[in-house]
């Protein structure tokens, strides 16, 4: 009995795909508007020093998505991301100050800003591409060590080149015209975050993402599916570096004066932690987790009593983030696998037009009796052909058919 014959004689399988009603779509639209409109409204209304933190949250989210490509999609650890981000920040600052003639007094034209950002993206892509070539040959712990030493190399060698960084005084990077206020600059970073999210979404929904995820699972299988393993692995690193480069440029124009001390190893560690806590490979989780780590120390220290405590003991808010990050990462690994993204998954699934559930599998896969019927139809389950009690039960019409559609 061939498959074609077997399927031809049986009725088609009823579709179990969920589609929301008209009210369901309206409810989803309203929640979308509330979330995104709320975020934009907050950015427009809050005082400057809060907007200054929101732009950091957006930039951290870009860095998180950058690391997520390497950590979540490729499955390799990068402990040298502060190197990519830092080099890109210095290159963009170096360009606007020494080549485009910008200064903190006279400001900087928008076109110079975009050229500087493009240079930063390019530098990040090239630097990470070189690392990607290493990653083709080395992986796991050894690759983590290579990235670690790359980061330290950047810190101790590249960030000390006076022509690029002007030593301890730092390289000025005036914010572009029209975006000099903290609130407006926050909108600019949010726009770039939207662009990165869009690219990340296209990545996962195209052959590129499928190829990279296949390579992570099994390189021989991916190759035998016709995927160029070398090219896609390198591409993933280049893309990660480009995101990191963009984030570097945005960081530079945010603080308007780039100092090498701004980019140290503890940052790279914090970024890895925020991606793990956010949820590896989960876009929404990574963005939320990154924003949380950017905002949380600030929120903590804005409470009077805690701020006094921090000041009294000279505790850096960043240190709090790192300690908290380690604790949350442990928590994530032990009891909440999938991180923030997994916890938010019912909501994100619902917003995407699916039911509000933690277990989408139960809504997609057929229930026991139906699966058995299908297997016997395919000739894979022998019990369906011999008249045993089990298969007799399968055929009884009283059995309910898929009730969750």
Partner 1 sequence: MTNVLEVKNTGIRFGGLVALDDVNITVPEWEIVGLIGPNGAGKTTLFNCIMGAYQPNTGSIWYRGRDISLLATHRRTALGIGRTFQNIGLIRGLTVLENFMVAEHSRISYGAWGALLGMPRSFAEERRLKRNAMEVLDFIGLPHLADSHLDGLPYGTLKLIEVGTVLATDPDLLLLDEPSSGMGPDEAHEFGERLLKLRQTLNLTVLMIEHHVPLVVGVCDYVYVLNFGKILTEGKPQAVREHPEVVAAYLGGEAVDHTSEADPNTEPEDAGAPA
Q: Is the CB of 106 or the CB of 228 nearer to partner 1?
A: 228
Q: How far is the CB of 109 from partner 1 (least distance, A)?
A: 26
Helix (H) or strand (E) holding 258: strand 257-258
Task: Indicate whether 225 belongs to the interface with partner 1 (CB under 8 A).
Answer: yes
Query: For tokens 């490979």, what's the residue?
Result: 281
Q: Tell which one of 232, 243, 253, 310 touches partner 1 (CB under 8 A).
A: 232
Q: How far is the CB of 397 from partner 1 (least distance, A)?
A: 20
Helix (H) or strand (E) holding 172: strand 171-172
Spatial CB neighbours of 334, under 8 Å, sequence gap ≥ 6: none
Q: Which stretch binds partner 1 (CB under 8 A): 11-19, 85-93, 124-132, 165-173?
A: 11-19
Q: How far is the CB of 286 from partner 1 (least distance, A)?
A: 17
In angstroms, how far apart are the furthest CA atoms of the chain?
Answer: 89
Please give the Cα distance from 379 to 346 (Å, whole number).
Answer: 36
Number of residues forming the site for partner 1 (CB under 8 A): 54
From its phi and psi, is residue 69 left (phi > 0), alpha (psi between -120 and 50) or beta?
alpha
Q: How far is the CB of 214 from partner 1 (least distance, A)?
A: 5
Q: Which stretch binds partner 1 (CB under 8 A): 110-118, 143-151, 208-216, 267-275?
A: 208-216
394 touches 384 (CB < 8 A): yes
Q: How far is the CB of 50 from partner 1 (least distance, A)?
A: 33
Q: How far is the CB of 360 from partner 1 (least distance, A)?
A: 8
Quick one: tokens of 305?
A: 């009593």
Q: Tell which one of 134, 158, 164, 213 touches partner 1 (CB under 8 A).
A: 213
Query: Using CB atoms within 10 A of its CB, is residue 290 exposed (0-12), middle (13-18) or buried (19+)?
Result: buried
Task: Indicate whether 128 belongs to the interface with partner 1 (CB under 8 A).
Answer: no
Q: Is the CB of 54 or the CB of 212 nearer to partner 1?
A: 212
79 touches 144 (CB < 8 A): yes
Binding mask 238-277 for partner 1 (x = CB under 8 A): -x--------------------------------------
Q: How far is the CB of 284 from partner 1 (least distance, A)?
A: 18
Pick out residues in 346-375 that bind partner 1 (CB under 8 A).
Answer: 360-361, 364-366, 370, 374-375
236 touches 224 (CB < 8 A): no
Spatial CB neighbours of 355, under 8 Å, sequence gap ≥ 6: 18, 349, 363, 404
Q: How far is the CB of 216 from partner 1 (least distance, A)?
A: 7
Q: Tell which one of 29, 99, 104, 202 touches partner 1 (CB under 8 A).
A: 202
C-beta atoms surrounding 202 within 10 Å: 11
164-201 b/e (C-beta count within 10 Å ≥ 16 → b): bbbeeebbbbbbbeebeebbbbbbbbbebbeebbeebe
Task: Indicate whether 1 belongs to the interface with partner 1 (CB under 8 A).
Answer: yes
Q: Tell which one of 71, 121, 203, 252 touches partner 1 (CB under 8 A).
A: 203
**CA 330 to mean position of chain CA atoms:** 19
Q: How far is the CB of 400 from partner 1 (least distance, A)?
A: 16
333 touches 276 (CB < 8 A): yes
Q: Is the CB of 346 or the CB of 379 nearer to partner 1?
A: 379
Task: Indicate whether 217 belongs to the interface with partner 1 (CB under 8 A).
Answer: yes
Task: Indicate whether 388 belongs to the interface with partner 1 (CB under 8 A).
Answer: no
User: Which residues are at the interface with partner 1 (CB under 8 A)?
Assistant: 1-4, 6-7, 13, 15-17, 198-199, 202-203, 205-208, 210-211, 213-214, 216-218, 220-232, 235, 239, 360-361, 364-366, 370, 374-375, 377-382
């Amino acid at each position: 009995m061939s498959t074609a014959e077997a399927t031809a004689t049986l009725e088609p399988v009823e579709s179990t795909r969920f589609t929301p009603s008209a009210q369901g779509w309206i409810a989803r639209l309203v929640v979308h508007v509330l979330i995104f409109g709320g975020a934009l409204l907050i950015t427009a209304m809050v005082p400057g020093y809060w907007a200054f933190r929101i732009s950091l949250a957006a930039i951290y989210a870009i860095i998180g998505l950058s690391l997520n490509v390497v950590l979540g999609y490729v499955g390799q650890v990068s402990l040298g991301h502060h190197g990519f981000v830092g080099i890109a920040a210095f290159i963009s600052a170096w360009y606007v100050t020494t080549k485009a003639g910008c200064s903190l007094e006279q400001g900087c034209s928008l076109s110079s800003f975009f050229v500087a950002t493009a240079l930063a993206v390019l530098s990040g892509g090239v630097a990470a591409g070189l690392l990607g070539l290493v990653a083709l040959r080395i992986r796991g712990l050894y690759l983590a060590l290579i990235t670690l030493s790359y980061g330290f190399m950047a810190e101790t060698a590249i960030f000390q080149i006076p022509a690029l960084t002007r030593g301890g005084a730092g390289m000025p990077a005036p914010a572009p015209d029209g975006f000099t206020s903290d609130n407006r600059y926050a909108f600019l970073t949010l726009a770039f975050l939207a662009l990165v999210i869009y690219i990340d979404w296209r990545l996962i929904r195209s052959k590129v993402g499928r190829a990279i995820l296949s390579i992570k699972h099994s390189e021989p299988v991916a190759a035998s599916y016709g995927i160029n393993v070398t090219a896609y692995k390198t591409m993933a690193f280049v893309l990660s570096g480009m995101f990191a480069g963009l984030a570097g440029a945005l960081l530079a124009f945010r603080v308007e004066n780039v100092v090498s001390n701004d980019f140290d190893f503890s940052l790279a560690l914090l970024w890895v932690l925020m991606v793990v806590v956010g949820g590896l490979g989960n876009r929404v989780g990574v963005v939320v987790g990154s924003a949380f780590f950017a905002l949380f120390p600030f929120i903590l220290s804005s409470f009077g009593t805690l701020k006094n405590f921090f000041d009294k003991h000279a505790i850096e808010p960043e240190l709090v983030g790192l300690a908290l990050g380690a604790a949350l990462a442990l928590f994530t690994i032990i009891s909440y696998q999938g991180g923030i993204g997994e916890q938010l998954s019912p909501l994100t699934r619902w917003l995407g037009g699916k039911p509000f559930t933690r277990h989408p599998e139960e809504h997609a896969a057929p229930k026991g009796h139906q699966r058995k019927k299908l297997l016997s139809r395919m000739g894979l389950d022998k019990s369906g052909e011999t008249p045993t009690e089990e298969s007799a039960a399968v055929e009884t019409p009283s059995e309910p058919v898929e009730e969750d559609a």
